[in-house]
Amino acid sequence: MENNASYVLKTRNLKAYYILDDLGKKKTVKAVDDVNLEIRKNEIYGIAGESGCGKTTLMKTLYALLKPPLRLIDGKVLYYRDGEEMDIYALDNEERRKLRWEYIAYIPQGAMSIFNPVLKIKETYRDFLDSHLSGKTRDEIFEIAREHIRQLGLPLKVLDSYPHQLSGGMRQRVAIALAALLKPAVIFADEPTTALDVVVQRGVVQLLNEIQDGLENTIILVTHDMGIHANITDRLAIMYAGKIIEEGNTDEIFDNPLHPYTKYLINSLPRFGDRGSRVSAPGNPPSLANLPGGCSFHPRCPHKMDICEKKIPELNDQGNGHKAACWLLNGGEGKDEGTS
C-alpha cells in the first residue's frame, strides 16, 4: 500500500443516494456516485459545480451525517490520524463524536442562520467548549473565547452580542471561528461566502486563509463561485451530476481545463479587460433521479461520440496529476451503465 502520511482523507468508490418513495414507485437520486478523493494535509481543496450537482450531499457523506432518505450505498470514507487509518462508518458513536470537531469540523451551508437566537455568542462558545473540554471554569472558557476571537481579528464585542445584532457576514465569520476553535485537522466549509456581499466575502476568504496558515490544516471548500476557488484553493475538483469529472491543481484547471464541461465553466466566466462574448454550456443539467446513460454530460456535449452514451469514462490521470473523466482523453476501460 502506498504511503498515507501526506493524506488526511481518502474515499473509495463512495456512493450515497436519496432513496425516495414517489407514489409507490421507488425513486433513486444519485447525488454522490462513485467518488474517489485523496485529500492531502495542509491544503485548501475546492469542490466546484452547479447547484444541485451533489456538493452538500458529498460533504454530509464525508462527515457521516446521513439521515434518511439519504443512504450510504457503497464505498468507504477513510481518515488518517497519527499514522492510523480510520473508517468513519466503522467507528462507534463515541469514537465518531471525538473525531468530529476535534479532528474534523463542519461548517454547513447557511451556517450563519444556525445560531440559537436567545443565546449571546459567548454562551454558544461556552456550550461548545463545555461539551469538548471538561474541567474548565466559566471565566477560563470566556478567556479562551476572547483570545480566539482576538487572534482571528474579529471585534471582541461580538461575544456580548445576540446573533440578530450581527450582520450576516459577521455571523458567518463567527461560525467559521467556532469550527476552528479545537484546531481540527480538517474543516469542511459548505458555501461559506454565498449570499454575502462582495467586500464581506473577501473578509471570509481572508479568515479561512488565516486559519489555514495558522493551523497548517486542511480546508475543504465547497462553492459554485469560481472566483472564490481561483482565489483561495490549492487544488480543485469539478463535480457534475454526482461525480468528480476533473481534478487538479487550481492553476492548472484554470489555465488548461480538460473536460468539455470544465472548459465551458472556465471559459464562460466574465473577465475584466476582455469583453469578448462568453458562452455557457447549452441545455440544463440532468435530473439525478434519471441520469442519461454513459457520461452524464453527453447530451450537452459538443464532442459526443458513440461510446459516450454507452460507457462511463474513468477519472484518469492525464499527466502531472491532472485528472479528467472523458472519452476524448484517456477514459480507461470505462464502466458500463447500470453496473451501479
Ligand X SMILES: Nc1ncnc2c1ncn2[C@@H]1O[C@H](COP(=O)(O)OP(=O)(O)OP(=O)(O)O)[C@@H](O)[C@H]1O
Residue 227: strand, helix, or coil: helix
Residues 70-109 that bind Mg ion (CB under 5 A): 109
- C-alpha angle 115/118/124, rounded to 5°? 50
Asked if residue 214 lies in contact with residue 42, where contact means CB atoms within 8 angstroms, the answer is no
18 binds ligand X (CB under 6 A): yes
Tell me the C-alpha distance between 259 and 233, whole Å.
19
# of chain residues touching ligand X (CB under 6 A): 16
Query: Looking at 35-43, 50-58, 116-124, 229-237, which segment touches ligand X (CB under 6 A)?
Result: 50-58
Q: Which is nearer to ligand X, 119 or 200 (CB)?
A: 200
Residue 138: strand, helix, or coil: helix
- Strand ranges across the sheet with 235-240: 104-107, 186-190, 218-222, 44-48, 235-240, 243-249, 323-324, 316-317
Q: Which is nearer to Mg ion, 55 or 171 (CB)?
A: 55
The residue to which cell 466503522 is assigned: 90
User: Which partner from the list other proteins, ligand X, Mg ion, none does 54 bind, CB cut-off 5 to 8 Å by kind?
Assistant: ligand X
281 binds other proteins (CB under 8 A): yes
Q: Which is nearer to other proteins, 113 or 268 (CB)?
A: 268
| Residue 55 C-beta: closest distance to Mg ion, Å | 5
Tell me the C-alpha distance between 118 and 137, whole Å.
22
Task: State how beta strands 323-324 and 243-249 pair.
Answer: antiparallel
Residue 231: strand, helix, or coil: helix
Task: State how beta strands 25-35 and 7-22 pair.
Answer: antiparallel
User: Which partner from the list ligand X, Mg ion, other proteins, none does 141 bind, CB cut-off 5 to 8 Å by kind?
Assistant: none
| Residue 152 C-beta: closest distance to other proteins, Å | 12
151 binds other proteins (CB under 8 A): no
Buried b (16+ CB within 10 A) or exposed e, 318-340: beeebbbbbbebebeebeebeeb
The residue from 137, 271, 302, 339 that contacts other proteins (CB under 8 A) is: 271
56 binds Mg ion (CB under 5 A): yes
57 binds ligand X (CB under 6 A): yes
| Residue 93 C-beta: closest distance to other proteins, Å | 36
Q: Which is nearer to other proteins, 285 or 334 (CB)?
A: 285
Residues 181-240 that bind other proteins (CB under 8 A): 195, 197-203, 205-206, 224-228, 230-232
Residues 300-339 that bind ligand X (CB under 6 A): none
Please list, in sequence order, all residues whose beta carbon lies within 8 angstroms of the beta carbon of residue 212, skipping any fewer than 6 positions away: 42, 44, 218, 219
# of chain residues touching Mg ion (CB under 5 A): 3
| Residue 334 C-beta: closest distance to other proteins, Å | 26
Query: Looking at 45-53, 93-101, 144-152, 208-216, which segment touches ligand X (CB under 6 A)?
Result: 45-53
224 binds ligand X (CB under 6 A): yes
The residue to which cell 450515497 is assigned: 16
Give the CA distances from residue 161 to residues 6, 184, 201, in Å, rounded to whole numbers and listed in that order. Answer: 41, 26, 21
Phi/psi region, residue 99 (left: phi>0; alpha: psi -120 to 50; beta: rest), is: alpha
Cell of 98: 471525538
Binding site for Mg ion (CB under 5 A): 55-56, 109
Binding site for ligand X (CB under 6 A): 18, 20, 29, 31, 49, 51-57, 69, 109, 224, 288
Binding site for other proteins (CB under 8 A): 50-52, 155, 167, 169, 195, 197-203, 205-206, 224-228, 230-232, 250-251, 254, 264-266, 268-273, 275, 277-281, 284-285
